[in-house]
Chains A and B, each alone.
Chain A
């Protein structure tokens, strides 16, 4: 139990579908993050939320739309994705933005067909 739960674990979607990834943390952290990890590549930071406010959008295409309704929940809404968007999407949280001890979820393995 990592304290950060991501659902679903696996997702296959067509290019015209709309789906959402969910992340939930029960650690009392204030900052939450979305990272993307493509095959054989380092983790890429996508979005950062601190106290529910988006503080960073790392030039992510608009087909990825994050939502942070409260400090415990983070969503990534997906629409009209491309096959190259297939990757492992990881959520993380920390006490403060950039604070030590990021806790990661197990990720959602996304395949776009």
Chain B
């Protein structure tokens, strides 16, 4: 079973920031938080990951709370092509990734 919980769906207006929350209240100290997304009928795509510090790359930013019990993925300027299912996963190296149902993000024109 997935160890994270996410809202099943969210809407975001095109051009606005999309903030996708994830709850991982049972995360252990050596577990990373990973985010992937899956555009319809394609394979999931890696977005970003982090342990304690906030992270940013060309795709998104990841904000992890100080107690590490939750995190937020931020897409700063959502486009229609960001419409996808977003998966938040907590994992340690050596364990296989377990995907939950994710959040279905709809970016609206």
Contact = CB atoms under 8 A, between A and B. Distances in A.
A92 B43 contact: yes
B44 interface: yes
Interface of A: 2, 4, 33, 35, 41-43, 45, 48, 56, 88, 90-92, 96-107, 109
B66 interface: no
A43 B99 contact: yes
B65 interface: no
B14 to A, nearest CB: 26
Interface of B: 2, 32, 34, 36, 41-46, 49, 91-102
A4 to B, nearest CB: 7
A53 B45 CA distance: 25
Given A45-B96, A98-B95, 19 more contacts: A2-B43, A4-B43, A41-B101, A43-B44, A45-B98, A48-B96, A56-B96, A91-B43, A92-B44, A98-B92, A98-B93, A100-B46, A101-B49, A102-B36, A104-B43, A104-B44, A105-B43, A107-B41, A107-B43
A109 B2 contact: no
B44 A33 contact: no
Which applies to chain B's interface (DSSP): helix, strand, loop or mixed?
A: loop
B96 A100 contact: no
Contacts of A90: 43-44
B100 A42 contact: yes
B80 to A, nearest CB: 20
A87 B98 CA distance: 18
Given A56-B96, A100-B32, A107-B42, A42 B2 contact: yes
A33 B95 CA distance: 12
A35 B89 CA distance: 16
A43 B44 CA distance: 10
B100 A98 contact: no
Contacts of A106: 42-43
Given A42-B101, A100-B34, A33 B96 contact: yes
